[in-house]
Amino acid sequence: AQSVTQLGSHVSVSEGALVLLRCNYSSSVPPYLFWYVQYPNQGLQLLLKYTTGATLVKGINGFEAEFKKSETSFHLTKPSAHMSDAAEYFCAVSEGFGNEKLTFGTGTRLTIIP
C-alpha cells in the first residue's frame, strides 16, 4: 500500500522568497514520485517526477525536488517565488511500471504575497 502526506495545507511566501512544499511518502516498493500543479479551473499539470537515477530532479517553471530515501521525502522547492506560482500543488506516488495508479496527497495551496 502507498500513502502520501503533505505537511501544510496552506503555505504563504513573499514574492522572491524560497518556496518549500513538503511531501513524505510510504511505499512497500521503490516508488515513483511526482509533483503536479493545479491552477484554478484547470487540469493537473506535471511539474516533475522521480523514477530512477539522479535523486535531484528539475522540473518546469524553476521547480526542483530531491528524493531522500532515508527520510522517505520528496520536498518541492523553488529559489524565488513568482506571483504566477500561486496554485494548488499535489505530491503523488506510484509503484512504478505495471502498477501506475497514482496515490495523491491532500494538496498544498500556495499563496504568493506581493
Partner 1 sequence: GAGVSQTPSNKVTEKGKYVELRCDPISGHTALYWYRQSLGQGPEFLIYFQGTGAADDSGLPNDRFFAVRPEGSVSTLKIQRTERGDSAVYLCASRSPGLGSNEQFFGPGTRLTVL
- CA 70/CA 10 separation, integer angstroms: 26
- 104 near partner 1, rule: CB under 8 A: yes
Instruction: Assess 24 for contact with partner 1 (CB under 8 A).
Output: no
Q: Which of 65, 90, 93, 110 binds partner 1 (CB under 8 A)?
A: 90
Q: Which is nearer to partner 1, 13 or 92 (CB)?
A: 92
What totals of helices (H) and strands (E) does the chain contain, helices first? 0, 12
Q: Which three cell numbers stand for residue 106?
A: 491532500
Is 28 an interacting residue with respect to partner 1 (CB under 8 A)? no
CB atoms near residue 11 (< 10 Å): 18
Chosen residue from 46, 56, 60, 113 binding partner 1 by CB under 8 A:
46
Please, how many CA atoms are within 13 Å of residue 77, restricted to the half-sphere of its CB? Answer: 10
Read off the C-alpha cell for 93: 506516488
> Which residues of the shown chain bind partner 1 in the complex (CB under 8 A)?
4, 32, 36, 41-46, 49, 51, 90, 92, 94, 96-97, 99-107
